[in-house]
Amino acid sequence: MSTRKLFIILSCVIIALLAGTGVYSDDYSFILHQESKASFIEAFELSNSFLSLPFEQVTHVIFYYFCTEESYWLLNVMKIFYVIACLHMCARFFSLFMEEKRALLISFLFIFYPSHEATVYWFLSQYLMVTISMYLYAYYLLEKKHKGYALAFAIMGSFISYGSPAPAIALTFLAWRKMSWRESLILYVPNFVYTLYYLYTTKIMNVGIQRIPEGTGFVHLCKQVLMQILSCIDALMGPSFFLKLYYSYQESFILTLLVSLICIVLYKYRKKISCCTEMKIKLDKDLLLALVLIMCISFGMFAITGRYPNIAFNLGNRTNIFSCLVLVYGLSFLNNKKFYLVFACLFISIVGISFHWKKWTQIQDDSLEAMKSSLANYQGSKTLYFVGHQYSEMGSIDHIELFSGDWVVNPMLKLTCGDKYTAYPLNHNYRLKGNDYIDIRYNTLVSTVDDKITVYDVEKRQLFDLERDAINTYIESCDKPKRHWTQLLGEGFIRDSILKLMPRLKYAFE
């Protein structure tokens, strides 16, 4: 099979995996934001939130302008386009170090690795996949002596994400080792400029997305780095990873059985249809060091923020993508027989995960339609509190968020029922203290409550009033979200260790 045919097949697989998915989480906020723009030209204007990420305004945010409540098809088209483009860019990079068809398969696994699928299915979260892919491609272009194009991709890759220093620094190191220090500057200088720009917009202008907190101590930073390392092992090859595989296999028995049978047939006749020539890949120590460097720098970046432990479930799993590069590179050294077995096991999981996102998309759409119908003739309170469908459930773990945060619930309600309503979630992340409704995770005021609140139960599709004195009791009666397997355990060493490293997670275990 030729490399071109394999790329076409994988592109068709990508279309099948992403078709039927929708919009999630912050997507709704940006659809609402862009809906207020008077013209397409105005939609290009950078908001304060994206002043520190100007290129993402062009690659992603601008497309929210064309979305309506009934039509999100353009976002799906763009999601598919970016994933296929990233497959091509990653494969070109890895083809410098291995056979082209093996490079394609490795790149597919990197993009769809089960521990970070939010970077694929959640449109706004694709920025990390895109910034890494652009920098990998910039290195490839530099290796091929296309310096102008390499510089262009390095600029785009830098200004699309605050996570860009990790691939920029690591690939600058690789270019210095493989080429020369002068050529390596083509990859580094754009990111150095972006770093200065990011610090200026966030710390001096005080706009954009803040990711560097004030007054981070050395001991605190060391704890966060250790948390990054341990949680990365858990998410990529530990209990969380194997739970994700197990639960993804259960998403659809018939679909899993069908994909498994196809994989068995392909494996049996692998010699006749082999995608990769059996050849021993020589370990490139410089490449290995560069990929490890990407992982280590990402640990440092997320440790500084103090907010992003590596988790296999929930939309926060996007941070795992940096560490996956060195993992999939390690898989490339397997012989064809072992590689196909690993690929098949992961591919079955990838299909199951895709099925999960599609099922949840349908639940989202049905819930919004029911909400629109329920509130059509409602004349009561204009402030509503939502319970039910907080997260999708993948086995015993809560996964994709829906009515769990005010940044999702409020724009969803306004898009569906108009500006006359304001919405807040009602779940274990919130408590009433006096008249103040508090987000206990960040200790921030969400709203103030008078004598009672009006609650909308998304699953039962019912409205009811709840007296102020009964709010906390009602919250305690609701199912507590479980976003990590350690929440299923009782008190003990593991839980105590987590809280010592990241005390702010105490709310998750109470």
pLDDT digits (tens, 9 = 90+) for 464-501: 888 888 889 998 888 888 888 888 777 777 777 877 77
Report the distance separating Cα 355 and Cα 256, nearest Å: 10
Report the distance separating Cα 102 and Cα 95, nearest Å: 8
CB 358 within 8 A of CB 20: yes
- What tokens does 369 get? 């339609």
- What tokens does 223 get? 């704890």
Closest CA relative to residue 194, chosen from 131, 119, 130: 131
Report the distance separating Cα 426 and Cα 475, nearest Å: 7
What is the arrangement of strands in the sheet containing 452-457, beginning at the earlier edge strand? Answer: 422-425, 383-387, 452-457, 462-467
Q: Where are the alpha helices (DSSP H) in 144-252?
A: 147-159, 165-178, 181-199, 218-237, 239-249
Banded model confidence at residue 70, pLDDT cuts 50, 70, 90: low
Report the distance separating Cα 421 and Cα 415, nearest Å: 10
Instruction: Note the pTM of the prediction, 2 decimals.
Output: 0.90
The share of the chain scoring above pLDDT 90, in percent, equals: 38
- What tokens does 100 get? 């082209």
Burial of 46 (0-12, 13-18, 19+ CB in 10 A): middle
CB 431 within 8 A of CB 344: no
The bridge status of strand 383-387 relative to strand 452-457 is parallel
Q: How confident is the model at residue 309, as a pLDDT?
A: 82
Could you report the per-residue pLDDT of 98-134, keeping only the tens digit for each? 989 999 999 999 999 999 999 999 999 999 999 999 9
Closest CA relative to residue 73, chosen from 333, 340, 361: 361
10 Å Cβ neighbour count for 252? 18
Classify the C-alpha dihedral 175-176-182-185 as positive or negative.
Answer: positive
Banded model confidence at residue 37, pLDDT cuts 50, 70, 90: confident
- What tokens does 150 get? 């390499």
Element housing 444 (H / E): strand 444-448
| Alpha-carbon 322 to chain mean position | 11
Burial of 116 (0-12, 13-18, 19+ CB in 10 A): buried
205-220 in b/e form (b: 16+ CB < 10 A) is: eebbeebeeeeeeeeb
Question: Where are the chain's structural domains?
Answer: 3-357, 375-509
Could you report the per-residue pLDDT of 341-359, keeping only the tens digit for each? 888 889 989 999 999 999 9
pLDDT at 87 over 90: yes
| Alpha-carbon 263 to chain mean position | 27
- In the block, which residue shows the tokens 């997670």? 505
CB 125 within 8 A of CB 160: no
Report the distance separating Cα 248 and Cα 286, nearest Å: 35
DSSP structure class, residue 96 = T
Least confident stretch, 43-57, 157-171, 307-321, 322-336: 43-57
pLDDT at 162 over 90: no
Residue partners of 196: CB distance under 8 A and separation at least 6: none
Banded model confidence at residue 269, pLDDT cuts 50, 70, 90: low
CB 146 within 8 A of CB 187: no
Burial of 473 (0-12, 13-18, 19+ CB in 10 A): exposed
pLDDT at 230 over 80: yes
pLDDT at 42 over 80: no
Backbone angles phi, psi at 228, to 5 degrees: -60, -45
Banded model confidence at residue 173, pLDDT cuts 50, 70, 90: very high
